[in-house]
Amino acid sequence: MTEASSTMQSAAGTRLNRKGRETRQRLLDIAIVTLADGSGEPLSANRIAREAGVSWGTLKHQFGDIDGLWAAVLIELTDRSGANSPEIWPQVTGSIRERVWEMVDAIWTILDTPEGRAVEALRAGLPNGQDERLEVFPLTTGAMAGYEEAWRRAFEYFLAGLPLEAGKVHRVQALIPMAMRGINNERRLSSPAELTNARHCLVDAMAVYLQ
């Protein structure tokens, strides 16, 4: 459990007791597994509550609505990723290419975890338009921005100390996650060698661009 148990609150603002915290965590865990499963069954708060063995009222008490649930899931996933815990990040050394490769390899690994698949399922399930996302899922949209910002900070960490142009770093920060999602979509269709070559090509291009 990543949230501080002494301050954890329900959507109504009440402090959760031990049973309430355990219920909340079970709902989050089941929501993440369900998102990562990709079975094609429509995602809904009722489905999460049913699989957790609790009522809709319990889920509503914990998260308010589906927007609150998905936002809490993203906050949980951000914490699990370690992106908000720079004190545990490995020491980074090496050339520009070596550092970009480490970041690309980290994204590649995470995209194939249940947590990574859950984030991608949430991204795919949100409305395409920014205005509609903010109107229908304001909490989820904010939490998704927080998730992506945490990874941008991690990217900056991987390149820290190198004499690089800030504008180029910013553009590479935006490109690499998008490019990695595209390569990840080929994971089941292309050979391991082709996928490795694609990642190396991306890294080579970004390293040359940054130099």
In this predicted structure, what is the pLDDT of residue 126? 87
Q: Is the pLDDT of residue 150 over 80?
A: yes
- State the CATH number of the domain containing residue 36: 1.10.10
Give CA–CA dist 88/207, Å, rounded. Answer: 25
Report the pLDDT value the prediction gives residue 2, as an integer from 0 to 100: 52
> Does residue 166 lie in a domain region?
yes
CA distance 135 to 131: 6
The tens digit of pLDDT for each residue in 72-110 reads 999 999 888 777 676 777 777 889 999 999 889 989 999
Is residue 13 in a domain? no
Continuous H helices in the chain: 18-37, 45-52, 56-63, 66-81, 96-111, 114-125, 130-136, 138-158, 166-184, 192-210
Q: Mean pLDDT, to the nearest integer, of 26-50?
A: 82
- Residue 4, pLDDT > 60, answer no
Say how far apart CA 66 and CA 34 lie, in whole Å: 14
Least Cα distance to 66 among 19, 22, 34 occurs for 34
The answer to the question of residue 184 being in a domain is yes
Do 52 and 127 share a domain, yes or no? no
Give a yes or no: residue 11 inside a domain. Answer: no
Q: What mean pLDDT comes out for the span 128-135?
A: 91
Q: What is the mean pLDDT of the segment spanning 146-151?
A: 88
Report pTM: 0.84
Residue 12 inside a domain? The answer is: no
Query: Do residue 64 and residue 151 come from a single domain?
Result: no
Domain annotation covers residue 5? no
Write the single-letter amino acid at 30: I
Q: Are residues 129 and 199 in the same domain?
A: yes
pLDDT of residue 29: 94
Per-residue pLDDT band at 17 (split at 50, 70, 90): confident
Residue 139 has pLDDT above 50, yes or no: yes
Range of the domain at 184: 86-210
Domain end: 35, 66, 81, which one? Answer: 81
Domain boundary among 56, 81, 106: 81
**Does 1 reside within a domain?**
no
For residue 8, being part of any structural domain is answered with: no
Domain end call among 81, 106, 125: 81
